[in-house]
A and B are shown apart, each in its own frame.
Chain A
Amino acid sequence: MENEIAQNGNMENIFYAALALHVAGKPINKENIRVVLHAAGTPVDEPSLDIIAAFMESLKAAHLKNESIGDPRIIKLLTAALSQHKIQVEQLEALLVDLARSIPPETKTGESIPKESSESEIRSHPELSDERGTITQSEAIQKEVAGESAKEPVLFKGRYIYGITAGGKEVRLGPIGIGGSEVYTISYQDLGAVVHNCPAEPYQSLDDEKVKGWIKAHQNVLDTAKEQFNIIIPLCFDTILKPVDDSITPDQVVRDWLKNDYERFHTVISRIEGKDEYAIQVSYSPSQISTHLPEPSGEVKTISEELAKKSPGIAYIYKQKLDKAIKADMERLADSWFKNFYNRINKHADSIVVEKNRKLDKDQVMLLNLSCLVAKEKVESLGEELEIINNMEGFSVHFSGPWPPYSFVAKPIIDGGKVENHGSH
């Protein structure tokens, strides 16, 4: 039983080693896999190795063409698996770089690497390569530096930006990002961008549930960052920065972006500091607001009187005019309510953005749709005011928040690095 379990784990490790070699563009054969596994400090299971070798050779025979390296799906799977096993990816990267240097490219006869270079690999990574037989996987995990989680490989050229914080410390927030990615900050002076490394293309999917999950993760990161830093300028979902060419690193692109808009970011921060966005919608039910209606206007009265006197055809026409007059009255009334409520709400809010009124079901009409920037101290008094309005007969108030102040943060201006901003909401 123990043997079986060990073999399953080993097969997995061998597979990951094979993937790593594939990504590095090195031939996948027994010798190379042994080198990688030794470096990672996991035991090598010869029978499993034989199986993989046979598989690779048969694959090679079938596909003589060169497949593209760096397939993002493989990279993603690899890094996810590696970060799960908490193997130091930096060290694995370094290993791959060294492999690239010491292992000659595949020869015509497909010979394995000379024994000397594999030994030198092992010597140059003393932390990872330990006494062969005794080291088990759990020990390898414990050996790695406590506290620091694995860093995403430099293979990902994009930086997905969640938002901007004040505070220049570079901090790790853990694997809370989209797809379980490690979230951390990149700083320029006293501004920080909350990011995770990603392929340089936007997140897209036809699967609604998947996209919902991504958006939840995005929101979750913003909430966590807010707790940690107190202030965060939120950015839209799917804002990704990538370098236009290889002359600049992705991290530098982010730093440059922070530098270029430094003033503006600080202006926005001081505007939203200590305030949250709240959404307020006031609607009324036409059938129930009769108590608030004033006496019918003069025009309506006259028409009603005339109506009584006329013959059917003319009466019909007058009825139409009556309906029109009543409608005009209602609109004037709604207008005055709007102004009244708006002014009352305005006393408690810092800024207000008026949104479009949505169409509601059946007997409800939306009167007011506002996004408000409210200081923490004023939220309670705003709530009380809204309670009063809600209690008016026939009116109902929908009050939600706090939200990140999306409506009060203008669109980012980008120079230098390229931004992919897909407003998929």
Chain B
Amino acid sequence: MVIKIDENNLKQGVLGLVVALVEVIRDALRIQAIKRIESGILTDEECERLGKAMMDLDIALEGIKEEQGIIESVQSVRDGLDTLVDDVIDKIVNPERWEDEINGK
């Protein structure tokens, strides 16, 4: 995956990368939060706080993306990551494709 950065789009590049990573971490947190809430370990009040905090995070991230004009770059970083992960999983599931790559197909 190539991230093209030059002086002109440095902000786009670095900020886009950072926000993309924050979004990935947020997604992981979200999964954990839902798990905790459903498990019944938390009190109602704690659940409410957790939910609200996640929601505020979402709103903040959307705001940053819009203000800095990096919605596109964030999406492209995430697409790139998706393709990368997809590739790796594909090779694990289809070992012959891995073999082909080694043999320089």
Closest to B30 in A: A320
Closest to B55 in A: A316
**In the complex with contacts A320-B30, A321-B34, A359-B83, A314-B48 CB distance below 8 A:** yes
For A316-340 the 0/1 string (1 means CB < 8 A from B) is 1100110000000000000000000
Contacts of A73 in B (CB 8 A): none
Contacts of A312 in B (CB 8 A): 48, 51-52, 55
Contacts of B49 in A (CB 8 A): 313
Contact A317 B104 (CB under 8 A): no
A409 within 8 A of B: no
Q: Could you tell me the distance between the alpha carbons of A31 and B43 in the complex, rounded to whole angstroms?
A: 106
Closest to A312 in B: B52
Closest to A319 in B: B55
8 Å CB contacts to B: which residues of A236-274?
none
* Tally of A-B Cβ pairs under 8 angstroms: 41
Q: Could you tell me the distance between the alpha carbons of A321 and B83 in the complex, rounded to whole angstroms?
A: 25
A236 to chain B, nearest CB (A): 9
B15 within 8 A of A: no
Contacts of B30 in A (CB 8 A): 320
Bin chain A's interface residue count: 10 to 19
A23 to chain B, nearest CB (A): 35
Contact A317 B54 (CB under 8 A): yes
B61 within 8 A of A: no
B71 within 8 A of A: no
Contact B104 A314 (CB under 8 A): no
Contacts of B47 in A (CB 8 A): 313-314, 317
A356 within 8 A of B: yes
Contacts of A108 in B (CB 8 A): none
Contact A423 B105 (CB under 8 A): yes
Contact B48 A311 (CB under 8 A): yes
**In the complex with contacts A321-B34, A356-B90, A359-B79, A315-B51 CB distance below 8 A:** yes
Q: Could you tell me the distance between the alpha carbons of A311 and B48 in the complex, rounded to whole angstroms?
A: 7
Question: How many positions in chain B have a CB within 8 Å of any CB in the partner chain?
Answer: 20
Q: Could you tell me the distance between the alpha carbons of A411 and B103 in the complex, rounded to whole angstroms?
A: 11
Contacts of A411 in B (CB 8 A): 105
8 Å CB contacts to A: which residues of B42-98?
47-55, 58, 79, 82-83, 90
Contact B33 A317 (CB under 8 A): yes
Contact B55 A423 (CB under 8 A): no
Contacts of B82 in A (CB 8 A): 359
Closest to A315 in B: B51
Contacts of A423 in B (CB 8 A): 104-105
Contact B34 A320 (CB under 8 A): yes
Contact B105 A313 (CB under 8 A): no
Closest to A356 in B: B90
Contact B104 A316 (CB under 8 A): no
Contacts of A316 in B (CB 8 A): 51-52, 54-55, 58
Q: Give the interface centre of A311, A316, A359 by most chain B CB atoms within 10 Å.
A: A316
Q: Give the interface centre of A314, A356, A411 by most chain B CB atoms within 10 Å.
A: A314
Contacts of A315 in B (CB 8 A): 51
Closest to B54 in A: A316
A123 to chain B, nearest CB (A): 55
Contacts of B48 in A (CB 8 A): 311-314
7 smallest beta-carbon distances between A and B, as pairs: A313-B51, A313-B52, A313-B48, A316-B55, A317-B51, A316-B51, A314-B51
With A312-B55, A317-B37, A359-B79 given, name 10 new contacts (CB 8 A): A312-B51, A313-B48, A313-B53, A313-B55, A316-B55, A317-B47, A317-B54, A321-B34, A359-B83, A423-B105
19 contacts between A and B (CB under 8 A): A311-B48, A313-B47, A313-B50, A313-B53, A314-B47, A314-B51, A316-B51, A316-B52, A317-B34, A317-B37, A317-B47, A317-B50, A317-B54, A320-B30, A320-B34, A359-B79, A359-B83, A411-B105, A423-B104
